[in-house]
Amino acid sequence: MITFEFNLFMQIPFSKYQATGNDFILIDNMSGAYSDLSIAQISHLCDRKFGVGADGCILISKAEGLDFHMDYSNADGTKSFCGNGARSSIHFASQLFPGKLEFTFQAIDGMHKARINGDSISIDMSSVAPMLSVPQAQLDTFNLDSAYTLQTGSPHFVVLQDDLSSSNVITLGRHIRYSDFYKEQGINVNLMKILSHGLISIATYERGVEDETLSCGTGATACALVYSQLHNIDMPVKVQVKGGMLLVSFDQQEDASFSNVVLSGPAVKVYDGSITI
């Protein structure tokens, strides 16, 4: 008896985006055709040797009463909020809704508003609770003088460092991310250097990508808020990432929390394509 095996393939049209060097695969899922993409398929799409290659994959889907739902997956298929991915999503959505410049969308951490202003896209981030100092027991393990954690849609660890070289980012980032304190849930690790008043430079090791990325929107937000609280800065903070410049504005409250947090910067379509998986 002869048996036959049939492999069912799916062709997926996509757009490749980058936002200050943080790159993404954007997929129009308004029809719901790609809602069942598996973690393995998403990881394959993001693979830089066997797939399209990206730091994350984003499905743009329908959302009742809103413009769209942003379903963001890291390169390993895990879920989180992504500030640069959100800004890329707004640019992508502007192609689906020609002429529209203001959007309201749903993400994993809640509802967000966004605006397009020329080459800059601004995202209203969620309110942020006060930063926490990392306990001395952890600092001794990491051999650091001081560090801070806070949640800006994704969890972030922020430490002042002059050496923002990739080797230092990856070595220190992996040491902290896979430590006993953080290995189960994971954490993004940011090295921050103060350049001048209102201007900082950062480098980020991202969980889910498990490597340094050229930019991290939620990381830039976290570092700007830590900097503002440490130095009592109430003005917008410019954040130099390795892929460009971002701007973070905010209102600091009396309890050291932050409201009206806005992340702004460019997002650029690199190309359109399709892939069969």
Active site residues: 82, 216
| Burial zone of 136 (CB within 10 Å; 0-12 exposed, 13-18 middle, 19+ buried) | exposed
Distance, CA of 153 to CA of 260 (rounded, Å): 14
Are 73 and 81 spatial neighbours (Cβ–Cβ below 8 Å)?
Answer: no
The DSSP-derived string for 63-122 is -TTSSEEEEEEETTS-B---HHHHHHHHHHHHHHSTT--EEEEEETTEEEEEEEETTEEE
Are 250 and 242 spatial neighbours (Cβ–Cβ below 8 Å)?
Answer: no
The DSSP-derived string for 128-192 is BPPPEEPPHHHHHHHT-S--EEEESSSEEEEEE-S---HHHHHHHHHHHHTSTTTTTT--EEEEE
Distance, CA of 162 to CA of 135 (rounded, Å): 22
Are 148 and 226 spatial neighbours (Cβ–Cβ below 8 Å)?
Answer: yes
Would you tell me how many other CB atoms lie within 10 Å of the CB of residue 173? Answer: 25
The tokens of 272 are what?
Answer: 């359109």
Distance, CA of 124 to CA of 249 (rounded, Å): 10
